[in-house]
Chain A
Amino acid sequence: MDFNEMKTIWNLQNNQPLYSINEQALYERIQQKKQQAFHITQISELLLIIVNLGCGCFIASINKSSISLYLLAAWMLVSGLYILISRIRRIQGNKRFDRSIQGDMEHALSVATYQVHISILGRWNIVPIGILVLFSLLESDKPIWIAVVLFIFLALVHYATGWEHTLYKTRKRELETLQNQLKTNTPSDIQTH
């Protein structure tokens, strides 16, 4: 066998499917990713709702005269309510998807997309909250170093939530990859078990 013959043998595989998709395993993978996305989304939502509504109520109740703190309380209450409404809409939207493998995939993707949306909202929500907190500190006669420390802390939180957002985007992309595996395999390629 010379090198040209090796090339001929090599080219034989161009017309053969090297792999097929194990649909059962793919379905299990989708289910698992869907459960992961659900679980993380539930926790994120509940945390954001509790923290925003809780802090909003608390600040409103203890505040005596600071306009910044009233604004902060209002902002946090609105944010909490927005996430609560989003959660209700998301749960109602679950009925849209059928129980086929494609339906489950679309459902998982919609949850992942929602998670990405919520994480970016949470990330940028730190900015107005941070500004209002800093204003309220400046309104009171607190030393400037407290504001500086708080600013650094908020900047770190903003950075950390960016990392979290990237993680959710990656998860969503993994699901999109699986979806494309489903789409790009014709029925003849797919092998069920």
Chain B
Amino acid sequence: MTEKEHKHIFEIWLKQYKGVIFKVVRAYAFNIMDQEDLFQEIVIQVWHSVPAFRQESAVTTWIYRIALNIAIKWVRKERKHNQTQTLDQTNISESVLLESNPKTDDRLDWLYEQISRLDAIDRSLALLLLDDFSYKEMAGIVGITESNVGVRINRIKKQLITKVKNDYGL
């Protein structure tokens, strides 16, 4: 693959699947600086992954796998180095990413809040479930067995339904 092809594919992916990356970012990082940091890490890893893509899975699945892996690692790293700041961050007062806030549905914010309360693996499964991935695909992306996926998904669904009843009285 030439440098030009590499760049071209990367630009197309970023344009088409930015939404997937943003969903993962929003589920794993909770302030704008962290979201930006995680976004950058995922995008860099997506760049690295372009030559390795063999079209054995859909690009969405591929991007999701990368984004979730990076997000889970990032959460662990952040826990360890909670106080550390990179040179880039210390001198920059403003973030490159801005939340658009085009009158988002309160229920969507609520949903993200519930997802953020799950552990790292369940959080990944919740995102994949809401984006209509099959149990088989989820197992492949997260690296657990299909039956384990099923058990966890049932538990997640029950938790969400219970929370809806408590918070919305439905």
Interface residues of A (CB under 8 A from B): 1-3, 6-7, 9-10, 12-14, 16-22, 24-26, 28-29, 32-33, 173-174, 176-178, 180-181, 183-184, 191, 193
How many B residues have CB within 8 A of the partner chain? 40
Q: Are B102 and A17 in contact (CB under 8 A)?
A: yes
Contacts A9-B105, A10-B111, A174-B44 given: A184-B18 contact, CB under 8 Å? yes
Say if the beta carbon of B59 comes within 8 Å of chain A: no
A-B Cβ contacts below 8 A, count: 98
In the complex, A74 Cα to B96 Cα: how many Å? 49
Cβ contacts under 8 Å, B35 to chain A? 19
**B156 vs chain A, min Cβ distance (A):** 10
Q: Are B98 and A1 in contact (CB under 8 A)?
A: no
In the complex, A31 Cα to B9 Cα: how many Å? 27
Q: Is the interface of A mostly helix, strand, loop or mixed?
A: helix
Interface residues of B (CB under 8 A from A): 7, 10-11, 14-15, 18-19, 22-23, 26, 35, 40, 43-44, 47, 88, 91-92, 94-100, 102, 104-105, 107-108, 111, 130-132, 157, 160-161, 164, 168, 170
Cβ contacts under 8 Å, B18 to chain A? 184
Contacts A1-B107, A1-B168, A10-B130 given: A20-B100 contact, CB under 8 Å? yes
Considering the complex, give the chain A residue whose CB is closest to the CB of B107: A9
